[in-house]
Chains A and B, each alone.
Chain A
Amino acid sequence: MEILAKLAFALYALVIITGAIMAVTAKSLVRALVGLIGVMIGVAGMYLLMAAPFVAFMQILIYVGGVSVLIFFAIMLTKASPDGDESSPNSLRSTLNALVAMLAPGIILSVVILRYPPESFPRPTDVGAFDLGEGMLGPYLLPFELISIILFVAMAGAVLVAWRKWGDK
């Protein structure tokens, strides 16, 4: 089982990294989105591996089934061509900058984690939907409600931005 879990982890990590690279380097917007979807599916797999099936299914339901479809819709409304040359190739300098920006926190975090490994459970404990609901309406009520306010603000902001554009015409 130990080996199987490690294999699964490697597989999901591979999916996530490939997707992420594709999302960043693809010239076409839609291909970048496909990479992003790969990342989301891989992350859902990671949640499953951590014995959090509810979060994993929600990840697929909301991000793969909902958010990415909406992004797709937004792209379809633009005049992007299927050949995909929306972006000009990056200069060497900006590529190097991006690499440094990516590697710096990655290296620091991994060193910190390797030096001071956090205490982990021998096997992850499964938190059922019932406990999850109790938690969200009990001790975590305030953060839960705050998240909905953030979503509301984002939606209101999007409407406001669109409104201004209409006003210009």
Chain B
Amino acid sequence: MPFDVLQFVYLVVAVVAIAAFVAVSALLLVYLERKVAGHIQRRPGPFEVGPHGILQTMADALKLIGKQPFKPDGADSILFWLAPVLAFAPALPLLLPIPFGPLLTGLEVNLGLILILAFSGINVLALCMAGWGSNNKWALLGAARSVAQSVGYEIPLLMSVLAVAFMTGTLNLSQIVADQGPWPWHWNMFTQPLAFFIYFTCAVAETNRAPFDLPEAESELTAGFHTEYSGMGFGLFFLAEYTNMIVVCSVATALFLGGWQAPLLPGFWWFLIKMYLLLLTIMWFRWTYPRLRFDQLLNLNWKWLLPLSLVNLLGTALLMKVF
């Protein structure tokens, strides 16, 4: 069947393109993060390697690849090495159903949204394995925090996504984007501002970014769940964190910001611009809000975000029924 062969080739090309996109974006984001952090704190950031330090992340990546992977004494060897792989492995299925442009979707899945939500849960499992397998107190504490955090924040995140799915009546991301219009008042953010707010807050928490970075809180837990990792073990966790950031921002762009829909420029560039604006916002958060305490983190979730998202969902359902 020639058609199937063509589809297979398309899928392979998509997977390779996504892998390249992830790697390049991660390099760029690490550089951007350090520059943004530097300028927010009125210092230049990396400046020595290359003009304006632009080759700094390349040097760091080379260093990470060259380092010896090291397993601490008494660690569970299977879990210890499985964890970083499992953290990064879901990256490809996560990015496949995302519509980067009108025709730029890796894999057209009717249940694309569910696929993304399902595979993003695997990350927590990887953190658990890393924390437990390291045989280290800080790692274990980081893993325990990560579980409590992500189990809690996944619920309002699902509910806010569900509100959009209610409105559009589909779980296909391409379809959701196509239903929105080119101008901001056509976007789902306009009709679902509360859902967007809840989604974005929970997304920052799910990716363990500051102010929700308790699983790896440097000042209390050394490095949290990845304390014991060196070389590419640490590199994979790092890559996974940035990939997850890209994924949550892409999903936010597709769900709430009209995806590739925008006037003037071709769609793909708009998608990138919107996604990177969201990524920069997440970096901005990091240097604006201090880290939450653990009880504050759980209170915020269970007493505010969860009831709000429930009210939002019920309100959406009611309005859908009335009109």
Residues of A in contact with B (beta carbons under 8 Å apart): 1, 28, 30-31, 34, 37, 53-54, 57-58, 60-61, 64-66, 68-70, 72-73, 75-76, 82-84, 128-129
Which residues of chain A come closer than 8 Å to B78, judged between CB atoms? Answer: 31, 34
Q: Does B273 contact A (CB under 8 A)?
A: no
Contacts of B109-124 to chain A: CB distance below 8 A: 109-111, 114-115, 117-122, 124
What are 9 A-to-B residue pairs whose CB atoms are below 8 Å?
A: A28-B76, A34-B78, A53-B111, A57-B111, A57-B117, A64-B121, A73-B147, A82-B76, A129-B114
Option from A28, A30, A69, A82 in Cβ contact (under 8 Å) with B124 = A69
What is the bound-complex CA distance between A65 and B75, given in angstroms?
24
B255 contacts chain A at the CB level, 8 A cutoff: no
Within 8 A of A (CB), among B77-135: 78-79, 82, 109-111, 114-115, 117-122, 124-125, 128-129, 131-133, 135
Interface contacts (Cβ under 8 Å), in number, total 93
Provide the residues of chain A in CB contact with B74, threshold 8 Å. Answer: 82-83
Is B121 a contact of A37 with CB atoms below 8 Å? no
Binary flags per residue of B285-317, CB closer than 8 Å to A gives 1, else 0: 000000000000000000000000000000000
> From residue A74, how far is it (CB to closest CB) to chain B in Å?
10
Known contacts A69-B125, A72-B128, A72-B147: A82-B117 contact under CB 8 Å: no
Complex contact A82–B125 (CB within 8 A) = no
- By a CB distance below 8 angstroms, the chain B residues around A65 are 118, 120-122, 124-125, 154
Shortest beta-carbon contacts, A-B, top 4: A65-B121, A61-B118, A60-B118, A57-B118
Q: Which of B75, B115, B121, B135 has the most CB of A within 10 A?
A: B121
Smallest Cβ-Cβ distance to A83: which chain B residue: B74
